[in-house]
Amino acid sequence: MACTDSHKSLNLQTINSKKQRILNSDIRHTGFVKRVTNDSLIVNIVSQSACSSCHANGACSVADYQDKEIEISHFTRKYSPGQEVTVVFQQSQGYSAIFWSYILPFILVFVTLIVAVSVTNNELIGGLLALAILIPYYITLYFFRHLLKKVFKFEVEENN
Protein backbone atom coordinates (compact mmCIF):
# COMPACT_ATOMS: atom_id res chain seq x y z
CA MET A 1 0.00 0.00 0.00
CA ALA A 2 2.77 2.45 0.93
CA CYS A 3 4.42 1.91 -2.43
CA THR A 4 1.18 2.71 -4.24
CA ASP A 5 0.58 5.86 -2.17
CA SER A 6 4.11 7.11 -2.76
CA HIS A 7 3.73 6.35 -6.48
CA LYS A 8 0.47 8.38 -6.60
CA SER A 9 2.15 11.21 -4.69
CA LEU A 10 5.07 11.19 -7.13
CA ASN A 11 2.68 11.28 -10.11
CA LEU A 12 0.76 14.22 -8.60
CA GLN A 13 4.01 16.09 -7.98
CA THR A 14 5.10 15.45 -11.56
CA ILE A 15 1.74 16.65 -12.94
CA ASN A 16 1.82 19.75 -10.72
CA SER A 17 5.38 20.58 -11.76
CA LYS A 18 4.43 20.22 -15.45
CA LYS A 19 1.42 22.52 -14.96
CA GLN A 20 3.58 25.05 -13.11
CA ARG A 21 6.21 24.95 -15.87
CA ILE A 22 3.54 25.55 -18.52
CA LEU A 23 2.04 28.45 -16.58
CA ASN A 24 5.45 30.03 -16.03
CA SER A 25 6.67 29.62 -19.61
CA ASP A 26 6.97 32.59 -21.91
CA ILE A 27 6.03 33.26 -25.52
CA ARG A 28 8.94 34.89 -27.34
CA HIS A 29 9.08 36.61 -30.72
CA THR A 30 12.01 38.35 -32.32
CA GLY A 31 11.26 41.75 -33.76
CA PHE A 32 12.67 45.13 -34.65
CA VAL A 33 12.06 48.44 -32.90
CA LYS A 34 9.94 50.56 -35.19
CA ARG A 35 9.42 53.67 -33.09
CA VAL A 36 10.45 54.94 -29.67
CA THR A 37 8.48 57.57 -27.75
CA ASN A 38 8.80 58.84 -24.19
CA ASP A 39 6.36 56.33 -22.74
CA SER A 40 6.13 53.49 -25.27
CA LEU A 41 8.12 51.33 -27.60
CA ILE A 42 6.61 50.05 -30.86
CA VAL A 43 8.10 46.73 -31.96
CA ASN A 44 7.38 45.15 -35.34
CA ILE A 45 7.31 41.34 -35.35
CA VAL A 46 6.74 38.99 -38.27
CA SER A 47 4.38 36.18 -37.38
CA GLN A 48 4.54 32.99 -39.44
CA SER A 49 1.95 30.28 -39.76
CA ALA A 50 2.91 26.85 -38.45
CA CYS A 51 3.12 25.40 -41.95
CA SER A 52 5.92 27.80 -42.93
CA SER A 53 8.45 25.72 -41.00
CA CYS A 54 7.64 22.46 -42.80
CA HIS A 55 9.45 20.97 -45.79
CA ALA A 56 6.85 22.31 -48.24
CA ASN A 57 7.11 25.91 -47.14
CA GLY A 58 7.91 27.01 -50.69
CA ALA A 59 4.28 26.35 -51.56
CA CYS A 60 3.08 28.76 -48.85
CA SER A 61 2.02 32.22 -49.88
CA VAL A 62 2.73 35.68 -48.58
CA ALA A 63 -0.55 35.43 -46.65
CA ASP A 64 1.16 33.02 -44.24
CA TYR A 65 3.33 35.87 -42.92
CA GLN A 66 1.83 38.74 -40.92
CA ASP A 67 3.45 41.93 -39.74
CA LYS A 68 2.30 42.86 -36.24
CA GLU A 69 3.03 45.94 -34.18
CA ILE A 70 3.31 45.50 -30.42
CA GLU A 71 3.23 48.49 -28.08
CA ILE A 72 5.34 48.04 -24.96
CA SER A 73 4.67 50.56 -22.20
CA HIS A 74 7.23 49.68 -19.57
CA PHE A 75 10.85 49.32 -20.60
CA THR A 76 14.03 50.21 -18.77
CA ARG A 77 16.78 50.35 -21.39
CA LYS A 78 17.31 52.78 -24.21
CA TYR A 79 16.32 51.44 -27.64
CA SER A 80 16.73 52.86 -31.12
CA PRO A 81 14.67 52.26 -34.29
CA GLY A 82 15.86 49.24 -36.25
CA GLN A 83 17.34 47.51 -33.21
CA GLU A 84 16.62 43.77 -32.94
CA VAL A 85 14.79 42.81 -29.73
CA THR A 86 12.81 39.91 -28.30
CA VAL A 87 9.22 40.50 -27.20
CA VAL A 88 8.22 38.34 -24.22
CA PHE A 89 4.66 37.53 -23.17
CA GLN A 90 3.69 35.15 -20.37
CA GLN A 91 1.84 32.11 -21.66
CA SER A 92 -0.67 32.25 -18.79
CA GLN A 93 -1.68 35.73 -19.98
CA GLY A 94 -2.04 34.28 -23.48
CA TYR A 95 -4.78 31.97 -22.26
CA SER A 96 -6.63 34.93 -20.81
CA ALA A 97 -6.22 36.84 -24.08
CA ILE A 98 -7.67 33.88 -26.00
CA PHE A 99 -10.65 33.87 -23.67
CA TRP A 100 -11.39 37.59 -24.17
CA SER A 101 -10.77 37.58 -27.92
CA TYR A 102 -12.26 34.25 -29.06
CA ILE A 103 -14.11 32.21 -26.43
CA LEU A 104 -16.29 34.90 -24.83
CA PRO A 105 -17.39 36.38 -28.20
CA PHE A 106 -18.27 32.88 -29.42
CA ILE A 107 -20.37 32.25 -26.30
CA LEU A 108 -22.11 35.63 -26.75
CA VAL A 109 -22.92 34.90 -30.40
CA PHE A 110 -24.11 31.37 -29.65
CA VAL A 111 -26.34 32.37 -26.70
CA THR A 112 -27.72 35.37 -28.59
CA LEU A 113 -28.51 33.17 -31.58
CA ILE A 114 -30.37 30.60 -29.49
CA VAL A 115 -32.33 33.22 -27.54
CA ALA A 116 -33.14 35.36 -30.59
CA VAL A 117 -34.31 32.41 -32.71
CA SER A 118 -36.45 31.02 -29.90
CA VAL A 119 -38.04 34.44 -29.17
CA THR A 120 -38.57 35.63 -32.77
CA ASN A 121 -38.96 32.26 -34.54
CA ASN A 122 -36.99 33.85 -37.39
CA GLU A 123 -33.52 32.54 -38.22
CA LEU A 124 -32.54 35.60 -40.26
CA ILE A 125 -33.29 38.03 -37.44
CA GLY A 126 -31.65 35.67 -34.95
CA GLY A 127 -28.49 35.45 -37.05
CA LEU A 128 -28.32 39.21 -37.54
CA LEU A 129 -28.81 39.84 -33.82
CA ALA A 130 -26.16 37.26 -32.99
CA LEU A 131 -23.66 39.04 -35.23
CA ALA A 132 -24.79 42.46 -34.02
CA ILE A 133 -24.02 41.53 -30.40
CA LEU A 134 -20.32 41.66 -31.34
CA ILE A 135 -20.52 45.40 -32.04
CA PRO A 136 -21.14 46.48 -28.42
CA TYR A 137 -18.75 43.78 -27.20
CA TYR A 138 -15.79 45.04 -29.23
CA ILE A 139 -16.70 48.69 -28.56
CA THR A 140 -16.59 47.87 -24.84
CA LEU A 141 -13.19 46.21 -25.26
CA TYR A 142 -12.00 49.29 -27.15
CA PHE A 143 -13.06 51.62 -24.32
CA PHE A 144 -11.30 49.41 -21.77
CA ARG A 145 -8.13 49.03 -23.85
CA HIS A 146 -6.08 51.02 -21.34
CA LEU A 147 -7.08 48.59 -18.60
CA LEU A 148 -6.27 45.65 -20.88
CA LYS A 149 -2.82 47.14 -21.57
CA LYS A 150 -2.17 47.01 -17.83
CA VAL A 151 -3.36 43.41 -17.57
CA PHE A 152 -1.58 42.08 -20.67
CA LYS A 153 2.01 43.23 -20.25
CA PHE A 154 4.59 42.70 -22.93
CA GLU A 155 8.25 42.82 -21.96
CA VAL A 156 11.21 43.47 -24.19
CA GLU A 157 14.70 41.99 -24.09
CA GLU A 158 17.67 43.27 -26.00
CA ASN A 159 19.31 40.80 -28.40
CA ASN A 160 23.08 40.76 -28.30
Do 129 and 116 touch, CB atoms closer than 8 A?
A: yes
Full residue range of the structural domain in which residue 49 is found: 25-53+60-158
111 domain-assigned? yes
- Say whether 89 sits in a helix, a strand or coil: strand
CA atoms of 116 and 86, how far apart (whole Å): 46
148 domain-assigned? yes
Do 71 and 35 touch, CB atoms closer than 8 A?
A: no
Do 102 and 94 touch, CB atoms closer than 8 A?
A: no
Tally of structural domains, the chain = 1
105 domain-assigned? yes
110 domain-assigned? yes
10 domain-assigned? no
**pLDDT, block means (10 residues), the chain with 160 residues:** 53 53 69 85 76 57 69 81 85 85 96 97 96 96 88 78
6 domain-assigned? no
- Give which of 24, 160, 154 is closest to 87, Cα–Cα: 154
